[in-house]
Chain A
Amino acid sequence: MHLTLNVWRQKNASVKGKLVRYEADDINPDMSFLEMLDVVNWQLIGKGEEPIAFEHDCREGICGSCGMMINGVAHGPRPATATCQLHMRHFKDGDTIYIEPWRSRAFPVLKDLVVDRSAFDRIIQAGGYISVSTGSAPEANSVLVTKQNSDLAMDAAACIGCGACVAACPNGSASLFTSAKISHLALLPQGQPEREGRVIKMVEAMDREGFGNCTMHRECEAVCPKAISVNFIARMNREYLRSLLKGEGLP
């Protein structure tokens, strides 16, 4: 396969970047998108040029490191697929591909396609935890969870924090990420002690990072590599109102 790439190149966080055109030859259709970039990078290194920086770790679609805008769609054209799981057979020989980093004020570009997603960590730190007693492990069957809640919590917990929801949202909102984290803990018994405080603190942290609001465009749901539903955003809103009306530690 031969491809023409237009890749965002930016030396570091403080300089301006630009799209640079590359001709990629000898691309095997069975390669993943990241492997295609590896080949391009070998060609660049061979010519003594700086390789394209991109983030990656597991390449199995479960770590959330990789992520880039591919022809204007986060993680590219395949639904429920992370960039590392996107294969070149979904492109045609001779295609032109635009590759850009996530764009969000809260995700500053560090280099080329690599962005700093620490904003997500700070949202988690604000409330995405549970308190557990130390000591011996509790009896696993003593706390019952309904099948429905267990499945739903797992659907939300599938979030890998890649940031595609933010990148795709016309409002730059982190609502899908934040709501998935709030939901999976609110649905389980272990998440109950901090339930009311968590949603308020995590929503406040989300707003503090400068993310936009949710207007239900549903772009996030369409690009999420874990196909997390926008219904969780409604659940976050419901949790927020519940906490607001109920308060903490009151009847």
Chain B
Amino acid sequence: MSVDEFSMSAEKRSHWLLSFWRSTVGKKVVMALTGAIGVGYVVAHMLGNLQVFEGAEKINAYAALLKSNLGLLWTARSILIAAVGLHIVAAYQLARTSQKSRPVGYKRWRSVGSDFASRTMRWTGPLLGLFIVYHLLHLTTGAVHPDFVEADVYQNVISGFRVWYVSVIYIVAMLMLALHLYHGAWSMFESLGVNHPKYNRLIRALATILTAIVVAGFIAIPAAVLLGFIS
């Protein structure tokens, strides 16, 4: 029996899926995959939203189309809820591990490698979570929208964003999304081991461009309403 076989049989090994989830590397893989679902979703959501510039008829028809097949709608929603849930649980557990790993901090600490976006992932994440709750209550259920009209997306967007502080909330939230995507959209490739000098710079550049496009697309709508371009 080799040393390797001996140590393998001596340890009581848990199910591979369980040890995958328990390991920090495995949890980062979960964060990357669920994050990728999130990235795909925000891109689609942003593109869909831009139809507001084509008038009420167009975007309301698009909204009706999305809700026309309940089976598809709830399948998509279930995947998103599961992805966001796993992303949050993994992030929370990993953050706790990191916190516990340094019980005594430094009197002096200076950053030489990280950037603002990477250091604020742990704040932009929860804040975006809170924003999503507000956003669902505002434009999906209408619970916190004073002039909510069922199935009239265009009107709800216009009347919602005319309230200046609502627009400010949305714009600030999208700046949070910018920070979260700027770091997350490239670092998820590292978590998945997709890394090579051949394409590392390309991934970083594409992640930055994607972040800029998505956030600019989202912010354009409250900005256009506030500036009176659409009404």
Given contacts A72-B106, A217-B114, contact A237 B191 (CB under 8 A): yes
Question: Is B4 at the interface (CB under 8 A from chain A)?
Answer: yes
Q: Which residue of B lies closest to A125 (CB)?
A: B7
User: Is A204 on the interface with B (CB-CB < 8 A)?
Assistant: yes
Contact among A104, A201, A237 for B190, CB-based, below 8 A: A237
The answer on a CB contact under 8 Å between A207 and B193 is no
* Closest residue on chain A to residue B195 by CB atoms: A234
Q: Is A123 an interface residue (CB 8 A)?
A: no
Q: Are B4 and A194 in contact (CB under 8 A)?
A: yes
Interface flag for B25 (CB, 8 Å): yes
1/0 contact trace for A232-251 toward B, CB 8 Å?
01111111111010010000
Would you call B69 an interface residue if the criterion is a C-beta within 8 Å of the partner chain's C-beta atoms?
no
Contact A103 B190 (CB under 8 A): no
Q: Are B98 and A238 in contact (CB under 8 A)?
A: no
In the complex, what's the smallest C-beta–C-beta distance from A232 to chain B, in angstroms?
9
**Given A103-B102, A231-B200 in contact, is the A215-B118 Cβ separation under 8 Å?**
yes
Q: Mark B1-33, 1 if CB is under 8 A from A, else 0.
A: 011100110000000100110111111110000
A171 within 8 A of B: yes
Q: How far is the CB of B102 from chain A (nearest CB, A)?
A: 4
| Bound-complex Cα distance A168 to B102 (A) | 11
B101 at the interface (CB under 8 A from A): yes
A216-B118, A241-B192 known; A223+B113 contact, CB < 8 A: yes
B114 contact set on A, CB distance < 8 A: 170, 217-219
**Does B75 count as interface, using CB distance less than 8 angstroms?**
no
Query: Shortest CB–CB separation between residue A196 and chain B, in angstroms?
Result: 10
Does any Cβ of B come within 8 Å of A73's Cβ? yes
A239–B195 alpha-carbon span in the complex (Å):
12
B68 at the interface (CB under 8 A from A): no
A210 interface hit (Cβ, 8 Å): yes
Residues of A with C-beta under 8 A to B2: 131
Whole-angstrom distance from the CB of A239 to the nearest CB of chain B?
7
Interface size on A, residues (CB 8 A): 55
CA gap between A234 and B20 in the complex, in Å: 16
| Chain A interface mostly | mixed
The interface residues of chain A lying within 8 Å CB-to-CB of B192 are 237-238, 241
Q: How far is the CA of A193 from the CA of B192 in the complex (A)?
A: 24
Is A84 in the interface zone, CB < 8 Å from B?
A: no
A81 at the interface (CB under 8 A from B): no
B70 interface residue, CB < 8 Å from A?
A: no
Kindly provide the distance from the CB of B196 to the nearest chain A CB, expressed in whole angstroms: 8
- Contact between A98 and B108 (Cβ–Cβ < 8 Å)? yes
Contact of B101 among A105, A201, A219 (CB under 8 A): A105
Enumerate chain A residues within 8 angstroms of B7, measured Cβ to Cβ: 201
Cα-based distance from A140 to B228 in the complex (angstroms): 77
Contacting A244 at CB < 8 Å: which of B16, B97, B112?
A: B16
A234 contacts B98, C-beta separation under 8 Å: no
Cross-chain contact A217 with B119 (CB below 8 angstroms): yes
Q: Other than the known A173-B24, A230-B190, A234-B189, what 7 A-B pairs have Cβ atoms closer than 8 Å?
A: A214-B190, A215-B94, A215-B121, A218-B114, A218-B118, A219-B111, A244-B20
Residue numbers of B with Cβ under 8 A of A are: 2-4, 7-8, 16, 19-20, 22-29, 94, 97-98, 100-114, 118-119, 121, 183, 187, 189-195, 197, 200
A-B contact pairs, 17 of them (CB 8 A): A69-B109, A72-B106, A72-B110, A73-B110, A105-B100, A105-B103, A168-B113, A170-B98, A171-B101, A193-B4, A212-B98, A213-B94, A213-B98, A215-B187, A238-B194, A240-B25, A242-B193
A residues adjacent to B (C-beta < 8 A): 6, 19, 69, 71-73, 98, 100, 103-106, 131, 168, 170-173, 193-194, 197, 200-201, 203-204, 206-207, 210-223, 230-231, 233-242, 244, 247
